[in-house]
Amino acid sequence: MDVTGTSQIPRQRGERLVDTAVRYAEERHWDVLAGAWLEPVAGAERCSCAAADCPSPGAHPLGRDWVNRATGSAVAVRRMWAASPYASILLPTGRTFDALDVPESAGCLALARMERRDVELGPVTSTATRRMLFFVLPGGAAKVPELVRGLGWPPHTIDLVPRGEGDYVVAPPTRVGRHGPVQWARRPTAANRWLPDAEELVSALAYACGRDGRRESR
């Protein structure tokens, strides 16, 4: 699914998390936050938050003030990872981008349709829990419910989750416990530096989510 083009995020396997986090801040001007991490315990791994039932092991914010700690400063990013070298890389939404979060099956269908129609797309992540997140201009998340209603879908009936102010996405190559790493379905490149508005993507995503939901209900 990845498109061609010059990209250095992430540059190579085995690269230190701090270097990837710094380049998110420097190359994309994204605010970055050091989140939880995985710790070896009795031959297994657990989240640094120590919760046995952590729903996102090694990949979530720590502390209630996490929104205020996210930064676009490379110096501050290096300082965060100096304190926690194995911390997950989190990107707050509602600042330089929002994200539209859909099931992987619906995301693949919508992505294929939009690529055939030459829709301008931003970066897209593929999570370890079989979700895809499409990056859009900030403010897009707030528009989604009304846009979906305009297409004839009650928002609660389709699995399209807008992520905006006060939320975050887990950035590649962060690993989410036993589920595995988050990856890029479409890498950040010079070609997709300018993000689409949510309005440009919602129709294809809502259609794919609706179709996906009908298939699962059979």
Laid out side by side, the sheet with 168-170 consists of 33-34, 89-92, 168-170
Structure confidence by residue, pLDDT tens digits, 166-192? 999 999 999 999 889 999 999 999 999
More confident residue, 215 or 105: 105
**Taking Cα atoms as reference points, which of 145, 31, 189 lies closest to residue 95?**
31
pTM of the model as a whole: 0.90
Instruction: Please tell me what DSSP assigns to residue 210.
Output: H
Tell me the mean pLDDT in the region 182-206: 95
Q: With contact defined as beta carbons under 8 Å apart, do 45 and 177 qualify?
A: yes
Q: With contact defined as beta carbons under 8 Å apart, do 36 and 50 qualify?
A: no
Structure confidence by residue, pLDDT tens digits, 5-39? 344 454 545 578 999 999 999 999 999 999 999 99
